[in-house]
Amino acid sequence: MHDLVHLERRGIPAVGVATAPFADEAIEQARRLGMPASRVVYIPHPVQLLTDDELAARADASFPAVLAALTEPAGPPAPFAT
Amino acid sequence: MNAAGTHMTAPPLSVRGLGPDEVTIASLAADGAALLLFVNEDCPTSAMALRRLGPLCPAWQEAGLSATAVFEDPLEIAVRITRRLGWAGRVASEDPPYETSRAYGLVSVPTAVLVDNAGTVAGTVTGWDHAALVALIEQAGALLGAGLAAPDAAEPLLKPGCSSKAAIDPELAAAMDAPTGSDGIEEMFERGWTDGLPVVPPTPDRVEAMLGGSDPGFSLGLVPPDMGEATLERVAACAVLAGCRPAYFPVVVAACQAALDPAFNLHGQAVTTQPAGQLVVVNGPVRDAIGLNSGMGALGPGWRANLTIGRALRLLVTLTGGGMPGQLDRSTQGQMGKVGSCVAEDEEVSPWEPLHVERGFQPGQSVVTVIGSDAPLSISDHRSRTPEDLAWVLAWAAASQWSTNWWPLEEPSVFVICPEHAEMFRAAGWTKQRLRRFMFDAVHKPAGELRRGETTPFVHAADPAAQVPKWASPEAIVLIVAGGEAGRYSAVLGPCTGMGSQIVSREVGSPWPLTT
Amino acid sequence: MAADYVSPFDERVRTPEPLAPRPASVSGRRVVLLDIRKNRGAEFLDRMETLLRAEGAVTARSAKEIFSKPAALALIDDIAGRADLVVEALAD
C-alpha cells in the first residue's frame, strides 16, 4: 500500500492486485497512510497452486476491474473485487 | 530451549494442515507411529530430505507410520515445495514465532522426530544423516512390527542442516518480517502525521507519560475544519509528535482550550487564504518552571518549550483538525509561524503589567493567551531619542500590515517590544495605556488617500479630508515585552482579519510540575 | 508491525488524501507493471501486460528488491519518471 500511496501522491494513478485475504490489511494500511481511496483489485485465494492457464484466467477476470481502477475518476473509496 | 529428548512426551502440535481437521500427535500416531520431519523453505538439506524420503511415505502409511512434513513457512509455500520435490506424505505449516519448533527444541532443520502411539518421542535425527535415519526407520518398523523401506545410500550420506527459524533471535526475526514501520520516523511521514518536519512517534508509552495521569478520554471539543474530537489522548499524541516534554502538557492543553473557544474562530483561521497562525503568549510562573524563553531570540528557534508548545497546537489543528496546508488549509503562502508560534512575556523586564494581568488575571496565575496573527514584521529603531519618536516609529511600522488602505481594522496587532525599547518608555514614565493611545492617534490618514481600489465602508462614506485611523480602537494594539537585552529591534505581528476572531486567555490547569 | 502508535486523528472524520486524476483510457499511456516479487507475480503480470497492450497501452516492467518492504523511494522515483500508470502485483 505504501507504494501505491507514494505513486498517487506523485500524480501517478496506480492499482494493486492482491488475493482476497489481503483486503482487511490493505484497507487498514490505506487508512493509516491517509489515503483510504487507494485502489486495489482482489482476486480469489489461493494462487500458488494454480496452473499457468488458471492464473491467466484469473488475470483475465480481474482485468476489467484493473482498467476501471486506472481510468474511473476518483470517487468514494471501494475495493474492486472479482 | 528444552529439547524434546527421547522418551519424553511429544509436545503438542500448533500447526495448520491441509484439511479441516486439527493436526494432533494422537491423530498422526493413531495407526501405529508418526514421523515428523521439520523443514523450512530456505534450507537445501531440508529439500534433499523431502526429496529422498518423500516417495517412501505411501508405503509407510500402509504399514502404519504417518509422515508429516512440518514447515516453518506458510502453508501455500509448503504445498508448492512438497509438490515440486515429490513429498507424498502429509503437509503442515507453522506460523511465527514457531512455537512448535521451539517446543521440540529445534536448533536446525531438517529434524526428524519419531513418535510412538503413546505419544512418546522414540528418537530424533538432525540434519541429513543417512545412517541415523536408517536406524530411526528401523526403530519405527520395530514399533509397528513391520519392515519399512529406507532411503538408498546416496551421496552425500551426511549433510548438516540449516538454522530453524525458531532458533533465530525473535527480535531479528520480527525485524526481518516487519514492514517498513521498523523505521518510526519514516512511518510518520508515510502516514502523513507530520507538518513536513520529523516528529516523535507517539508510542503508547510516550503518550501515557505525556498525559501524566489525566483522563485520556476527556474531550476539549471538536477541532476544525474536520471536527476531529480533541480528546486529551489526541492532544497528548500531538504534544508527543511535536517533541514536547510531559512538563509542557498543561500549557499545551490550556493553549488548545483557548484556541477551541468559539470566540477565537479557529475554523476561519484554519482554512483561510490568509497567512494566519496562532500566536501563543505565556505568562506567569509556569514560564520559568518549564524553561520558556522570553529573552534573546524569543521569537525564533533555540528553546524546546517555545518551539514544541507552539507546534503541538498547530499539529492539533493540522492533524486532528485536518487543517493540512495545501488541502483544507488554503493559506496562499503560509508562514513559518504556522509551524508553531509560542513566546513567553518577559514580565520581569517589562515596565508594565503583563498581558494576563491586563486581561484580568492575578500576577501569580499562569495563563496562556492565543491570538490569530500573521508573521512578525521587524521594527528597527536605533535613533529615536524620545518616547514619542519611538512610539511613532513602532506604530507606523504596522500601518501596512494586512493593508495599506483597508482601514480601520478591528483586529489586533501584537507588538513585541524589546527590552531596550521598553526601557525608553519606562524611563519616561509611560504607561501601556498612554503608549497605546499615542500609537493609535499617530497612525491616521485622510480618507481621500485611502481610496485606492476597494475601500472600507467607513472610508467610502467619509469626507476625503477626514482622518481615518489604522485601528478601530486603541484596544486593537496589543503590547507585550520580550527579546534580548541588547539590540533595538521590536516586532509586530499583524492581524488575522474578517472572521471576528477574539483574543482568548485560559489559565494553565494545575497540577503542573515545578521542575522540568 | 510493531507498536501501534496513538493516532492524533479522529478517524471518523479525517479528510482523505485525494487520488491522482485518471486518464479516460489506457490507450497510448505508458504503464509500468511492478512485480512485488512474490510467487506467481511475474506470470500474472505477463498476462496483464498482454491485456494492457491489447488496449493500446505501452508497457514496461519493474520489480521491487524484496516483497516484504515497500519499494525504495529511488525505485518509486524511477517509475514515476517513466510511467503514466502503474499496476502492482501480486500480493498473496
Q: Show residues of chain B in contact with A46, CB under 8 Å.
A: 76
What is residue C65's predicted lDDT score, i.e. its pLDDT? 73
Alpha carbon of C42: minimum distance to chain A alpha carbons (Å): 11
Give the integer Cα–Cα distance in Å for B106 and B99. Answer: 10
Q: Which of B112-121, B174-183, B255-264, C29-38 shows the lowest per-residue confidence on average (mean pLDDT)?
A: B174-183
A6, closest residue in chain B (CA to CA): B190
* Domain-located, residue C79: yes
CB atoms within 10 A of CB A58: 20
pLDDT for B3 beyond 70: no
Q: For chain A, how far is it from start to end, CA to CA, in angstroms?
A: 19
Span B16-175: which CATH code?
3.40.30.10
- ipTM for the complex shown: 0.88
> Could you tell me which of B87, B136, B91, B89 has the C-alpha nearest to residue B115?
B136
Question: Which among C18, C24, C91 has the least Cβ separation from residue A16?
Answer: C91
Question: Which among A32, A46, A48 has the least Cβ separation from residue B191?
Answer: A32
3-class SS at B413? strand
* Domain-located, residue C34: yes
Taking CB atoms and an 8 Å limit, are C70 and B236 in contact across chains?
A: no
Give the integer Cα–Cα distance in Å for B274 and B329. Answer: 10
> pLDDT band for position C39 (50/70/90)?
confident
> pLDDT band for position B407 (50/70/90)?
very high
Q: Which of B66-70, B185-189, C29-33 shows the lowest per-residue confidence on average (mean pLDDT)?
A: B185-189
Express each pLDDT in B214-258 by its tens digit.
999 999 999 999 999 999 999 999 999 999 999 999 999 999 999
What is residue B514's predicted lDDT score, i.e. its pLDDT? 35
Domain regions of chain B by residue span:
16-175, 182-507
Express each pLDDT in B13-47 by its tens digit.
999 998 888 899 999 999 999 999 999 988 889 99
> pLDDT band for position B444 (50/70/90)?
very high
Query: Which residues does B contribute to its contact with A (CB < 8 Å)?
Result: 76-77, 79-80, 179-180, 190-192
Tell me, what DSSP letter sits at residue B445?
E
* Probe site for chain C from B234, B260, B316 (most C CB atoms < 10 A): B234
pLDDT for B135 beyond 50: yes
For chain B, the chains sharing at least 3 beta-carbon pairs closer than 8 angstroms are A, C
pLDDT for B89 beyond 70: yes
pLDDT for B6 beyond 90: no
Average pLDDT over residues B84-90: 93
| Averaged pLDDT of chain B | 92
Taking CB atoms and an 8 Å limit, are B319 and C1 in contact across chains?
A: no
* Domain-located, residue C65: yes
pLDDT for C51 beyond 90: yes
pLDDT for B406 beyond 80: yes
Taking CB atoms and an 8 Å limit, are B77 and A46 in contact across chains?
A: no
Cell digits for B399? Answer: 500601518
Give the integer Cα–Cα distance in Å for B231 and B223. Answer: 10
Alpha carbon of C55: minimum distance to chain B alpha carbons (Å): 33
Q: For chain C, how far is it from start to end, CA to CA, in angstroms?
A: 18
Express each pLDDT in C55-70 by its tens digit.
999 999 999 876 666 6
Cell digits for B475? Answer: 484596544
What is residue B402's predicted lDDT score, i.e. its pLDDT? 93
Question: Is the distance from CB of A31 to CB of C7 less than 8 angstroms?
Answer: no
> Could you tell me which of B166, B167, B236, B246 has the C-alpha nearest to residue B204?
B236
Q: Which domain holds residue C67?
A: 30-89
Number of domains in chain C: 1
B112 membership: H or E segment, kind and range = strand B111-116
What is residue B275's predicted lDDT score, i.e. its pLDDT? 96
Give the integer Cα–Cα distance in Å for B254 and A12. Answer: 43
- β-strand B128-129 against B158-159: which pairing, if any? antiparallel
Question: Which among B80, B181, B316 has the least Cβ separation from residue C2?
Answer: B181
3-class SS at B223? strand
Average pLDDT over residues B416-423: 98
pLDDT for B516 beyond 80: no
> Could you tell me which of B93, B129, B87 has the C-alpha nearest to residue B112?
B129
What is residue B172's predicted lDDT score, i.e. its pLDDT? 56
Give the integer Cα–Cα distance in Å for B50 and B36. Answer: 12
Average pLDDT over residues B91-109: 91
Give the integer Cα–Cα distance in Å for B283 and B357. Answer: 9
Between helix B419-427 and helix B387-397 the angle, nearest 10°, is: 140
What is residue B39's predicted lDDT score, i.e. its pLDDT? 96
Beta bridge partners of B495: B373
A48 interfaces chain C, CB cutoff of 8 Å: yes
Question: Which among C5, C15, C39 has the least Cβ separation from residue B203?
Answer: C5
Query: In terms of pLDDT, which residue wins out, C72 or B306?
Result: B306
Full-prediction pTM beyond 0.80? Answer: no
pLDDT for A77 beyond 60: no
What is residue A75's predicted lDDT score, i.e. its pLDDT? 64
Query: For the CA atoms of chain C, what is the radius of gyration?
Result: 16
Give the integer Cα–Cα distance in Å for B39 and B72. Answer: 6
Give the integer Cα–Cα distance in Å for C89 and C92. Answer: 9
A64 interfaces chain C, CB cutoff of 8 Å: no
What is residue B456's predicted lDDT score, i.e. its pLDDT? 93
Express each pLDDT in C2-23 by its tens digit.
458 999 999 888 888 889 999 9
Average pLDDT over residues B427-453: 96
Give the integer Cα–Cα distance in Å for A41 and A23. Answer: 9
> Could you tell me which of C17, C18, C20 has the C-alpha nearest to residue C80?
C20
pLDDT for B178 beyond 70: no
Q: Which of B246-260, B338-352, B466-480, C66-80 shows the lowest per-residue confidence on average (mean pLDDT)?
A: C66-80
Domain regions of chain A by residue span:
2-81
